[in-house]
Chains A and B, each alone.
Chain A
Amino acid sequence: MRRAAEPRAPDELAAAAEGALAAPQTEPVDVEVAHAEASREAVALPMAPAPPEVDAAPPALPEHTLGTPASPAPDPPAGAAPASISAPEPASPSAPPEGPAVENLDADLDDDDDGATYESLVALVASLPDENLSESAPASGERADRAAETAEEIEIVDLDQDEGGEAVERLIANAVVGAPVEAAESEPEAPLIDLDADEPRAPVGAPAGGPTPTASAEATRLALAAARGGVDEDDVTSFSVDDDDVSTPEARARLLAAALAHAEHQEARYRVPTESGAARRWKALAASLVFVLAGWVAAAPVKWVQPEPPARLDATTRARGIRTALLLQAQQIEAFRVEAQRLPTDLGELPARLPGLVYARSGNRAYQLIGYEPDGDAIIYDSTDPLPAFRTLIDAWAPPEGAP
């Protein structure tokens, strides 16, 4: 993690380093900054001599415990010389160090005051002779400078040159430190199934080398359903097409049976029914007879087929109706004469006129009305001497009794 740090005064940096080393590890950012600042301070401080008691009896570790997370070494107190780090004697630099031990590299790196450099620690871990031991002081100073530069380094991101937004995502990730990190769930890879090169693999609990009894029964049932002439959707049981199922012989057998049943069902749709010639002739004859019977019933229906016929007006009833019409029209003429004291010139002068009647005047006081029956016979009403048939009809609208 890169953080931009503003340069501070050496006193402030020293105080910050002491405070950071004394502070708990709950604030890693401050510790890191303080670590860089403490490294800078180490440049000005003189190299402290190694404690003699440590050189007298350097503890030897039979095993390197570097990198063992199960046994992390506790952080040493700030300013204390690590007892596990032993710098070789400057008088005999060629002698290989015996018994160098590194219990905690991070703790050792934090303690730069004892003069141990990064290279020396690496050499100790790798059991190599420390060639740079004599240059530990300047190396330590350079590393402190690099750490200070690193701490003050500011990342400059050119968003225009950013392709794919990786820099932006990285910046956002840096900005949201402390937010819960979503663990990217990688989708499990689907197993590839090569059916061509696939050997029959017996599923767990199923015998290898052929379909299971359940698959055979399913195939038989589908075949029987297809032989019946149709396979409904209910006959074909649905089964999943998961990769694990398809790869099994049972699934393949069921799939094959379903395909065969579907093919049989489709073929049955196009089957042409057949019959013998005699049956065809008998059916044709029966159809012809029924057609003739239907035509006869339509042309001359039998009595039990016919409903009640509608009413018809006979000639007598129609003639009486024409007489009634003539008498009613004559009443209109008489009413006109009572009011106008004359006969109308034609029927158009009357307020009510019946169609199909002919009006003929024979003087100032007599007239005739003529109607025609359907057969063309004329029915005449003479005002001077109406026929008796008209006299009987006039009682139809006679005034009620008691009327004036």
Chain B
Amino acid sequence: VTVPRDRRGATSSDVLVFLATVTFGVALLYPAWSARGFRDLVQRAIGDVEAVASAARTSLETSGSWPTPGPPGEAPPEITQLSGDGQPFGRSEYGMEWTTWSVVDSVEVQVDLVFAPGDAPPPDTGPVRRPVVRTIGGVGVHSRDASLLAELAQHFTGQTWFVLDTTWMLVLPERAEARARAP
């Protein structure tokens, strides 16, 4: 049986060269493609942190107190609009957390000296410092991706944050213009 031959068409060598070329192209483009996905994730996380911080500050300004803290992935009752699919507290790539911290400040107070009539007044000791407790806020991102946490730390340079284990936490003072600095 004579098999008709033709110089047109693709041979096995042609197919091999084509596959090699495709593989080379994939090797070239995969890092950029993969980095693009990571960049999208970072931008999404940054946007979520800013959205939660803005909502918390709005709640503080309107009600005078920070939103109620909750576990990771659960939106506080004051900012329930940020929960659900596509919202900061509904992400599957990372867990968003809102929490509050109590800090103690030493405040100088003037102490009224009490002495009996006829007694010599006690020496003036000046004002004394008394502790005052106040509350600050915190936006946390829980993720096992150290690169994501590092990207968040790099983006929020100039604000107070820390990375502990798999958690990145942004500290929110009462006012945005409060002195905040990176560690």
Contact = CB atoms under 8 A, between A and B. Distances in A.
B4 A272 contact: yes
Contacts of B134: 399
Contacts of A400: 173-175, 177-178
Contact of B20 (A275, A291, A312): A291
B14 A395 contact: no
B8 A287 contact: no
B13 A324 contact: no
Interface in B91-107: 99-105, 107
Contacts of A190: none
Contacts of B151: 310-311
Interface stretch (B48-56, B82-90, B158-166): B158-166
A335 B103 contact: yes
B61 to A, nearest CB: 14
Nearest to A356: B165
Main secondary structure of the interface of B (DSSP, over half): mixed
Given A280-B11, A328-B101, A338-B104, A322 B136 contact: no
B104 A334 contact: yes
Contact of A393 (B17, B101, B167, B183): B183
B117 interface: no
B100 A352 contact: yes
Contacts of B4: 267, 270-272
Contact of A286 (B9, B17, B23): B17
A273 interface: yes
Given A287-B13, A291-B20, A332-B102, A324 B31 contact: no
B154 interface: yes
B133 interface: yes
Given A306-B31, A313-B153, A404 B17 contact: no
Interface in B130-158: 131-134, 136, 146-151, 153-154
A333 to B, nearest CB: 9
B114 interface: no
Nearest to B38: A310
Contacts of A331: 101-104
Contact of A297 (B19, B28, B132, B163): B28
A272 B6 contact: yes
Contacts of B21: 290
Interface in A258-300: 267-268, 270-275, 279-280, 283-284, 286-291, 293-295, 297-298
Contacts of A338: 104, 131, 133
B164 A321 contact: yes
B179 A273 contact: no
Given A313-B146, A399-B134, A356 B164 contact: yes
Contacts of B160: 324, 396-397
A340 B80 CA distance: 33
A215 to B, nearest CB: 28
A188 B179 CA distance: 105
Contacts of B165: 355-356
Given A270-B4, A301-B31, A275 B164 contact: no
Given A305-B28, A396-B160, 12 more contacts: A270-B4, A272-B9, A313-B149, A313-B163, A317-B183, A321-B164, A321-B183, A324-B160, A335-B104, A339-B133, A397-B160, A400-B174
Closest 9 CB pairs of A and B: A320-B183, A273-B9, A283-B13, A290-B20, A307-B35, A335-B102, A321-B162, A310-B147, A294-B24
Interface of B: 3-11, 13-14, 16-17, 19-21, 23-24, 26-28, 30-32, 35-36, 38, 42, 69, 99-105, 107, 131-134, 136, 146-151, 153-154, 160-165, 167, 169, 171, 173-175, 177-183
Interface of A: 229, 267-268, 270-275, 279-280, 283-284, 286-291, 293-295, 297-298, 301, 305-308, 310-313, 317-318, 320-325, 328, 331-332, 334-336, 338-339, 351-352, 354-357, 371, 393, 395-400, 403-404
